[in-house]
Amino acid sequence: MAAVIDEDALEPSLQTLLDQRSLRWIFVGGKGGVGKTTTSCSLAIQLAKVRRSVLLISTDPAHNLSDAFNQKFGKEARLINGFDNLSAMEIDPNGSMQDLLAGQGESAEDLNAMSGGIGGMMQDLAFAIPGIDEAMSFAEVLKQVKSLSYETIIFDTAPTGHTLRFLQFPSVLEKALAKVSQLSSQYGPLLNGFLGSNGALPNGQNLNEMMEKLESLRGTISEVNTQFKDAELTTFVCVCIAEFLSLYETERMIQELANYGIDTHSIVVNQLLFPKRENDCEQCNARRKMQLKYLDQYEELYSEDFNVVKMPLLVEEVRGKEKLEKFSEMLVKPYVPPQ
Amino acid sequence: MAHLMLIVFLVEATVSFINAVGAAKINDLLWTLINFLPVPTSKAAAEQRKVQADYLAVRREMNATSSQDEFAKWAKLRRKHDKLLEQLEASKKGLDSARSRFDSALTALRFLLTRAPQYIIPFWYATEPMFWLPHGWFPYYAEWIISFPRAPLGSVSIASWQLACAGIVTLLSDILTFIFKLVLGSKQPETPIKTPTEEKSKETSTTDEKKTS
């Protein structure tokens, strides 16, 4: 039984993403273990062929970029070996908020010093807002990225729930920060009266400086927010496998993305089995049958509005530049299984 | 001054009637009656009922569809379900706000029609005698109290008249409710659910009541 292909079905490839020159942010997300990293690396490789410069950022706490390219990446963007316009970096979305609050301080003593006085209060306040620490590090990264002037930035995001929270941050944070800066403008003079004219905080920080910092952060974030909601600039690529839970999660994710106003029109169905005819592998045939069932559902549900790309499961791990390059070809030219 | 006395009596009667029935019940009744007319809220309510029916139908269908076997169908139903739910909530909010607007308008109107005359009329006509008492029937202090606060001595002031009206209305309403309960009480033995012992006791009680009445 073959998947029903509608007349008005969209192209089963990511060529549209490559052609859309206005795209600046591309998110790649899905459930854990469906091949997000492989897909994002492949997409980055394909994009690097048609763009001036591409940056691949992993926000997944379990970083796989280093594994995929057999190269160590860190907090700073670094060129990937063998490419001259494709860089990668890994950031920790759980990166500490304390870093930000304590200025650039990274020593533990600074944090201990913050446990009392206004600093402690600010810390409590900051941690009372759910997910703000992640949002902060996110905003820091975006600020950094903005200054680096890459043409396209690909985010390899953490599994579903995480991703959606991550994308919600700009709006959450903007609301919170608007409140904080309003408070500071109202009570700033009063606080300054307490703290002395230079507004020094107990932990050696400066109130005005901190407020300025928050304000500039808010500016960055609101700009990012408007960019993320612009379908011309941002898109989301859903990666999934042909299984019930993945299908369910994908539907949920697409609905939520629609709620956030984030454009999405690409689905990559990964790890499809194409066993040879007349083979004796019982498991392979059974699994193929199951995958076909869910693949049909994908086609029926999404083929009108989405580019549904089907990727095969290979017999080897997709690691290293050459294998990724080969794999990435299939994102653009649909895979034809050998009969 | 006869019409003024009548007005005061009617206001008192209305106030006591509203208190007896309950303002909320009257609001409900008026809201129901108004929604029989082709006003926007009744249209919205009809729309909401329609959406509600649709929603329930979709929900039933969704529950009857297996998400495992027919996910595409299920997901489409789910999308419809979510959309209808959203619509339903929005319309409910709209209806609720319309209802609360109606309620507050009605409360203001009620205040204007009952409480305001209840206080303003006695104040305005405080110096006017309602009618004169026959001379010499009452001692001075009784005349003084009856003409309180500012009516000429020897007359009945509007405040006294109002007080008397309120008293009579309360008395009448008490009598009416008593009679009402008596009539209802005598009808009670005809209700179908009863145990033999209860029947006996009720029969004795009704005969007692008949005797007393």
Q: What is the pLDDT of residues A72-116, one digit of tens each?
A: 888 888 899 999 999 998 877 555 455 555 544 444 444 444 444
Chain B positions touching A300 (Cβ under 8 A) are: 72
**A60 tagged catalytic:** yes
pLDDT of amino acid A175: 76
| Alpha carbons B139 and B147: distance in angstroms, whole number | 12
10 Å Cβ neighbour count for B119? Answer: 10
Residue A32 C-alpha, separation from nearest chain B C-alpha, in angstroms:
20
Residue B147, CA distances (Å) to B42, B120, B132, B150, B211 in order: 52, 18, 10, 7, 45
pLDDT of amino acid A294: 92
> Looking at residues B80-92, what average pLDDT do you find?
93
pLDDT of amino acid A41: 94
CB-based contact A244 B71, cutoff 8 Å: yes
Helix (H, G, I), strand (E, B) or coil at A237: strand
Helix (H, G, I), strand (E, B) or coil at A182: helix
What ipTM was estimated for this complex?
A: 0.70
pLDDT of amino acid B196: 53
**Is the pLDDT reported for residue B44 higher than 60?**
yes
CB-based contact A300 B79, cutoff 8 Å: no
Least confident of A20-24, B166-170, B192-196: B192-196
Overall residue count recorded for chain B in this entry: 213
pLDDT of amino acid A42: 94
Helix (H, G, I), strand (E, B) or coil at B64: helix
Confidence category of residue B208, pLDDT binned at 50, 70, 90: very low
Interface probe for A, chosen from B71, B76, B80, B85 (most Cβ of A below 10 Å), is B71
Residues of chain A with pLDDT under 50: 1-5, 96, 103-117
**Is the pLDDT reported for residue B55 higher than 90?**
yes
Q: Which DSSP symbol is given to A158?
A: P
Tokens 């454009």, residue located: A263
Overall residue count recorded for chain A in this entry: 339
Cis check: omega of the bond before B149, within 30 degrees of 0: yes
Q: Supply the mean pLDDT for chain B.
A: 85
Q: List residues forming the annotated binding site of A for ATP.
A: 31-38, 243, 270
> Looking at residues B46-65, what average pLDDT do you find?
92
Pairing state of beta strands A86-90 and A78-79?
A: antiparallel
The B residues from 54 to 93 touching A (CB cutoff 8 Å) are 67-68, 70-72, 75-76, 78-79, 82
pLDDT of amino acid B206: 45
| Alpha carbons B36 and B26: distance in angstroms, whole number | 16
Q: List residues forming the annotated binding site of A for Zn(2+).
A: 281, 284
Residue A271, CA distances (Å) to A63, A160, B182 in order: 20, 18, 83
pLDDT of amino acid A240: 93
pLDDT of amino acid A157: 82
Between helices B23-34 and B2-21, what is the axis angle to 10°? Answer: 90
Our measurement of the distance from residue A122's CA atom to the centroid of its chain's CA atoms, rounded to an integer in Å, reads 28
CA-based nearest residue in chain A for residue B71:
A297
Burial class (CB in 10 A: 0-12, 13-18, 19+), A244: middle
Pairing state of beta strands A54-58 and A264-272?
A: unpaired
Helix (H, G, I), strand (E, B) or coil at A264: strand
- Specify whether the CB–CB gap between B3 and B131 falls below 8 A: no
Of A244, A255, A301, the CB nearest to B72: A301
CA torsion sign, B125 to B127 to B128 to B131?
A: positive
**Is the pLDDT reported for residue B32 higher than 80?**
yes
Which position among A6, A60, A124, A280 bears the catalytic label? Answer: A60
pLDDT of amino acid A124: 62
pLDDT of amino acid B97: 93
pLDDT of amino acid A121: 57
pLDDT of amino acid A160: 55
Of B68, B76, B82, the CB nearest to A244: B68
Interface probe for B, chosen from A238, A300, A308 (most Cβ of B below 10 Å), is A300
